[in-house]
Structure 1
């Protein structure tokens, strides 16, 4: 003869188990994102700005006509 199922406090016990599973999976996914995506992006951005020359980029954009409302003759 099978024993009766435990129904008293069933919701609370299932909620605790599900909370632990959700917390663990959230921590694993966030750690994987941090080390897999965020660190790689930061490293690429740092490498880009090591050789980036803002003045040269500004001159290129100015010659290309990006700044339509900017007139360097009025600024000086």
Structure 2
């Protein structure tokens, strides 16, 4: 069966990689900042924020202590 859910373009706040995400269940319940994901490029932890008014999603840095926040410093 083909996945027909709408995908939203997001940009990793750590490395700038453009990728796509579907709206999580919590966004459908009106909790705008309840989504999360991991960058496919740098593996940085991202919070996904959805705007119902704009029908757009953006990725922000995950600021919770103890959670990997981005690529290793070289």
Higher fraction of helix: 1
Q: Establish whether TM, by shorter chain, passes 0.5.
A: no
Query: What TM-score do you get using the length of structure 1 for normalisation?
Result: 0.20
Larger of the two Rg values belongs to structure: 1
Higher fraction of strand: 2
Query: What TM-score do you get using the length of structure 2 for normalisation?
Result: 0.20
Q: Higher relative CO (CA 8 A, sep ≥ 6), structure 1 or 2? A: 2
